[in-house]
Structure 1
Amino acid sequence: MSTIRKTVRAGQALLRKGRLQEAQAKFDEALAIRPGHAAALHGRGQVALEAQVADEAVPWLERALAANPGASDVLRSLTRARQLAQQAGASSAPAAAGGLVHKGRQLLASGRIEAAVAAYQRAVADAPGDAAGYCELGNAWLQDGRLEQAERAHRESLRLAATHPLTHLCLGEVLSAAGRRAEAEQAHREALRLKPNYGQAWLRVVQLRRYRAEDVDDLRALRRLVERSEWDAGDEEAAHFALGKIYDDLGQSDAAFEHLRLANELHKTAQPFEIQPLLTLMERIEAVCDEGLLARFEGWGSASEVPVFIVGLPRCGSTLVEQIIASHPHAYGVGELRRLARLTGDLPARLGSQLPFPDCLQQLTRKTARGVAEDYLGRLTRDAGDQALRICDKMLSHLLLIGLIAVLFPKARVIHCQRHLMDMGLSIYAHSFSGAGVGYAYDLDDIGRYDQQCRQLMSHFERLAPMTIVDVHYETLVGHPEPEIRRLLAALGLDWDPRCLEFYKAKRQVRTVSEWQVREPIHTRSVERWRHYEKHLEPLRKYLE
């Protein structure tokens, strides 16, 4: 059985169990490989239908029927969805609000953040006493980078339902992104007071601190919970990641690795991942985005020099690089924008193509290229202000989109962040990641294979792409910061500014697992940290160049 068929069947099994978000993730995974897969499209429509978001279900089911004309099961689902959509206007306000919340979730999952915010705003307007609706609105505002609005929404949710642990957790994440460490820890600990075995809250608390030998209370409490507690989905995994972090801080590498191993095994059991389709996609990107394709589309994109794409693997130093650049008075950082990935996902439909990405690029038109470039550039520059000559987007998976970026923004800069595989691989393995697209992160061999394929793909584009591509090595940056930062700024066309050396003083939001490391001066503590774990990292060693 093919991998895509296995993925779709896993989604169908989850759908039958009512596990809608997990089912949606499986169907999305299949559609990322083959956007026109009829069964996956039908599955996405069924997820929306079961979530009572009929108007969201209809377009998915119409695409499924177009991909498999005459399919009676798809036709039945589409008929039902259309009937429910017509009846929606007669819903009561609370029911309508519930439908809007479901719609917001669907939009958020597909990367349509602004539309999701609008749906949630309508939901809380229709049902102003719905605490959960305000919490979800706050999460959408956070993804959109609007921290003040996110905090207000979460505090309104808590005013309505002060004993909801999830809302305290979400508020803590907003405060953490804003750099308000003490308040963030207080919010997370309140979540733990309400739910002592809340593994996700434990992980957030532990990430806010560096533990020393005398800090025993959290360690004892977590060990007792791991030994005795019943866990909700994902919380046991998070608790083991938290224990791994504490033991690492204390220098007990064997104990730390054992808990990291358990956390990663729990994740793989709950969310199985097969890396080969991702590697095959990357090979196909290299084959399609060749010299002929790039030459054919020359001059089709935007002439803007504003975008700076930071790419690489997680834990490669990308957040540090963005923080340094964003400290320049003529630069800005937007964090990780999902806009270009969403626009890429929409390309086949936009082109009227049955081919998935990257093959659909063969049918690209000048009008579509300009439209996609303008759409992305509008979002990139939305909050930056007139002084920003360069704006960083550090969505690392844009590495897979370098060929498209070469067409859309031939004068952009690309910063390829790199780090010694053993240190980077260990750091990836030691962290729990939110969102899709990092299934490889929970297996050392997968990390090595993905890194190898990324290097091959970047080598290809360094030879062919018209943009300036700058390699930044983490060890060089932290070992010799000033000359390396000067070189980086020069490559971006920016004058030297000493504020880039004091990046840790910048008052800006950071929403990655490195959010606290970049709020302290540069250090070399993480260089060759892997040697403490050397005996555990054999699966990575064979991928060293």
Structure 2
Amino acid sequence: MAPSEPGSVGAAGHPVSAARLTGLSPTAISLLREAGADLARGDAAAAQAHLDGALALAPNHPDVLRLAAIAALHQGRARDAQRMLRIALSHAPLDPLLHTNLGSALRATGDADGAIDAFERACALAPDLAAAWYNLGKACRALQFTQRACESLQRAVALAPAHAPARVLLGDTLKTLGRIDEAHAAWRGALEIDPCNAQAWWGIANLNTVRFDRSDAERLRALCTRADAGDEERCLAQFSLARALEDGGDYAGAWSMLHQANAARRAMHPWDAGAFSEYAASIGAAFSGPVATATGDAGAEVVFIVSLPRSGSTLAEQIIASHPEVEGAGELPDLAEVLAAESTRRGQAFPAWVADATAHDWARLGGEYLRRTARWRKARPRSTDKGLDNWMLIGAAAAMLPGARFVDCRREPLETALANYRQWFSEGQRFSYGLSDIAAVIASHARLMDGWARRLGSRLYRLQLEHLQREPEGEIRKLLAGLRLAYDAACLTPHRNTRGVRTASAAQVREPLSRDTRRAHLYGDLLDRLAEALRAAQQHRREDFPSPSAARE
């Protein structure tokens, strides 16, 4: 019995076996089988029509309710699914499939803890149910319980070795743990089962430390041209093929493929460059004058690592988290979520309410942030936060947490731009699918960061990736001093740190510090258009806010 996606059709979903249909009339059984077939085709609406008939005949039958809940999940009605599954469990509390489906419904509404409890209950009731272990692994991964996720996914693969999605997710988890060779093997195993699995191909491509060979390139080229490939699947294959062409030294071919991949991604995910630039400017303007701040040194236990994507922030966090006083928490959503909740409470979008916020307001928000992130400081007194959008929120973070420190990670603009253009992002970072958009965001980032530097002074430390790679010990000593951390030699060998890393650079940070990551020179004049876009964007940079002293004059 193979695992499936939460709430999807398959073993975690709904085999309509004879044993599960006990107590149903022939008519209800026929309706339920039709509904199961509809769900297998992905037609939740047709399934719902059949299930409405079955529910009219047997409103409390556990399997009727179970399939009705799965149909509700497919239609985005997760809370309805939870309600139906709880009724079903009141009649069949020891049914592992019901607990598995309840876990999926709970995950769909963001209740990761409740989902884990439900999946664990399913695993205890049916230790050989691969779907339960698979979904438990997914839920644990979402909460960054990475080792536990790995163990659950290994169990799922052992029980269902022919299920490629379980192997793909296991590969992702092994990569997070720094077990790069095992991750590569897991993805290759998935491709043996499903040679067209685009997620597995991208997993290998995104290692950045493993090279594709000519046969890989040919298989990827075939996948890119498959008539039955979905848009996302083809896009992933195109990004992967670009990496394979790079590995073969065909940079012109790689550049052409990147244009195709990014054009496809842009068509799926539009981006309003003008609106973004205006929003960035509005944040600068909101902090252009005096802004109330919380008092004291609240937040001294937090280090915000801020940057654009692909700019060295993962390496910076790995270095800092190698210090015995610091826990690396990764890309946390908490800062943005605290500010979003405050915007909802006020009925105003950030940053419109910044001028009205009092010192008490900022202290309240800072306290909420510290409460939400406290679990990252159970073992060590300080923790990091490298949420990718935090560079826009530094002014708010500094007002909320006057004791917090910030690391501004920079990389040479052309390298940053190319790295973003080469990257498939699972979500967010929509600017990265257009060359002029990338250039505009790099300029907005530099402009805003320059303003934060003037406001924060020594609280913000700028770390240039190229300097770090050339003189690692000297740069690391200065970085630690800027964060008021005593020097520790472990920070010189961050590749030995076994903490989980979930970013695109997870494999690269497992290698010694001296690694040269420059790539733009390999593309030569193919990047002329990109370089010109960067120059043009820089020429349009303007001062969004003056220093605090100038603002008071």
Smaller-chain TM-score bracket: 0.7 to 0.9
The reply on whether 1:511 has 2:502 as its aligned counterpart is: yes
Q: CA deviation at 1:268?
A: 1.3
Q: CA deviation at 1:239?
A: 1.1
The reply on whether 1:297 has 2:293 as its aligned counterpart is: yes
Aligned 8 A contact 2:406 2:460 in 1:
yes
| Aligned match for 2:252, one of 242, 247, 254 | 254
Q: CA deviation at 1:368?
A: 4.8
SS of corresponding position for 2:383:
strand
Q: What residue in structure 2 maps to residue 462 of structure 1?
A: 453
Q: What residue in structure 1 maps to residue 174 of structure 2?
A: 175
Aligned 8 A contact 2:44 2:74 in 1:
no
Q: What residue in structure 2 maps to residue 203 of structure 1?
A: 202
Mapped partners of 1:313, 1:202: distance in 2 = 25
SS of corresponding position for 1:417:
strand
Q: CA deviation at 1:543?
A: 2.3
Unaligned runs of 5+ in 1: 1-16, 21-46, 56-83, 108-114
Amino acid of the residue matched to residue 206 of structure 1? A
Q: CA deviation at 1:202?
A: 0.6
Q: What residue in structure 2 maps to residue 6 of structure 1?
A: none
SS of corresponding position for 1:148:
helix
Mapped partners of 1:117, 1:87: distance in 2 = 20
Q: CA deviation at 1:489?
A: 1.1
Q: CA deviation at 1:403?
A: 1.5
Q: What residue in structure 2 maps to residue 118 of structure 1?
A: 114
1:209–1:423 distance in 2 versus 1, CA, 3 Å: closer
Range 86-95 or range 309-318, more displaced: 86-95
Aligned 8 A contact 1:171 1:187 in 2:
yes
Amino acid of the residue matched to residue 116 of structure 1? A
Q: CA deviation at 1:395?
A: 1.4
Aligned 8 A contact 1:175 1:184 in 2:
yes
Aligned 8 A contact 1:416 1:471 in 2:
yes
Q: What residue in structure 2 maps to residue 374 of structure 1?
A: 367
Q: CA deviation at 1:151?
A: 1.5
Range 370-379 or range 456-465, more displaced: 370-379
Q: CA deviation at 1:512?
A: 0.9
Mapped partners of 1:505, 1:365: distance in 2 = 44
Q: What residue in structure 1 maps to residue 220 of structure 2?
A: 222
The reply on whether 1:453 has 2:459 as its aligned counterpart is: no
Aligned 8 A contact 1:147 1:174 in 2:
yes
The reply on whether 1:287 has 2:312 as its aligned counterpart is: no
| Aligned match for 2:87, one of 66, 90, 109 | 90
Q: What residue in structure 2 maps to residue 73 of structure 1?
A: none
Aligned 8 A contact 1:48 1:106 in 2:
no
Mapped partners of 2:227, 2:136: distance in 1 = 31
SS of corresponding position for 1:283:
helix
Aligned 8 A contact 1:265 1:442 in 2:
yes
* 1:210-262 deviations in Å (ceiling 9; x for gaps): 4669x333223222333446323422111111111122233321111122112
The reply on whether 1:277 has 2:269 as its aligned counterpart is: no
Q: CA deviation at 1:375?
A: 3.4
SS of corresponding position for 1:369:
helix
Aligned 8 A contact 1:238 1:432 in 2:
yes
The reply on whether 1:341 has 2:336 as its aligned counterpart is: yes
| Aligned match for 1:358, one of 348, 351, 357 | 351
Amino acid of the residue matched to residue 52 of structure 1? R
Cα RMSD, aligned residues only: 3.0
Mapped partners of 2:277, 2:162: distance in 1 = 45
Amino acid of the residue matched to residue 232 of structure 1? G
Q: CA deviation at 1:421?
A: 1.0
Mapped partners of 1:86, 1:476: distance in 2 = 56
Q: What residue in structure 2 maps to residue 53 of structure 1?
A: 78
Aligned 8 A contact 2:207 2:508 in 1:
no
Aligned 8 A contact 1:410 1:467 in 2:
no
Aligned 8 A contact 2:411 2:466 in 1:
yes
Q: TM-score, normalised by structure 1?
A: 0.76
Mapped partners of 2:469, 2:500: distance in 1 = 22
Q: What residue in structure 2 maps to residue 8 of structure 1?
A: none
Q: What residue in structure 2 maps to residue 190 of structure 1?
A: 189
1:211–1:86 distance in 2 versus 1, CA, 3 Å: closer
Q: CA deviation at 1:126?
A: 5.9
1:497–1:448 distance in 2 versus 1, CA, 3 Å: same
Mapped partners of 1:492, 1:531: distance in 2 = 36
Amino acid of the residue matched to residue 186 of structure 2? A
Aligned 8 A contact 1:343 1:372 in 2:
yes
Mapped partners of 1:529, 1:235: distance in 2 = 27
Q: What residue in structure 2 maps to residue 320 of structure 1?
A: 315
Mapped partners of 2:73, 2:226: distance in 1 = 38
Mapped partners of 2:240, 2:511: distance in 1 = 21
| Aligned match for 2:105, one of 85, 91, 102 | 102
* 1:4-27 deviations in Å (ceiling 9; x for gaps): xxxxxxxxxxxxx9999xxxxxxx
* 1:78-134 deviations in Å (ceiling 9; x for gaps): xxxxxx998775345656753552341232xxxxxxx32323432563686675554
Aligned 8 A contact 2:411 2:464 in 1:
yes
Amino acid of the residue matched to residue 463 of structure 1? R
Aligned 8 A contact 1:305 1:412 in 2:
yes
Range 426-435 or range 501-510, more displaced: 501-510
SS of corresponding position for 2:162:
coil
Mapped partners of 1:405, 1:226: distance in 2 = 44
Q: CA deviation at 1:309?
A: 0.7
| Aligned match for 2:516, one of 496, 518, 525 | 525
1:312–1:18 distance in 2 versus 1, CA, 3 Å: farther
Aligned-pair identity (%): 28
Which structure has the larger Rg? 2
Amino acid of the residue matched to residue 234 of structure 1? E
| Aligned match for 2:305, one of 284, 303, 310 | 310
* 1:283-317 deviations in Å (ceiling 9; x for gaps): 2211222332x2x2342x75231211111111111
Aligned 8 A contact 1:479 1:524 in 2:
no
Q: What residue in structure 1 maps to residue 534 of structure 2?
A: 543
Mapped partners of 1:430, 1:90: distance in 2 = 49
Unaligned runs of 5+ in 2: 1-41, 46-71, 539-553
Q: What residue in structure 2 maps to residue 480 of structure 1?
A: 471
Amino acid of the residue matched to residue 76 of structure 2? A
Mapped partners of 2:118, 2:298: distance in 1 = 38
1:87–1:330 distance in 2 versus 1, CA, 3 Å: closer
SS of corresponding position for 2:109:
helix
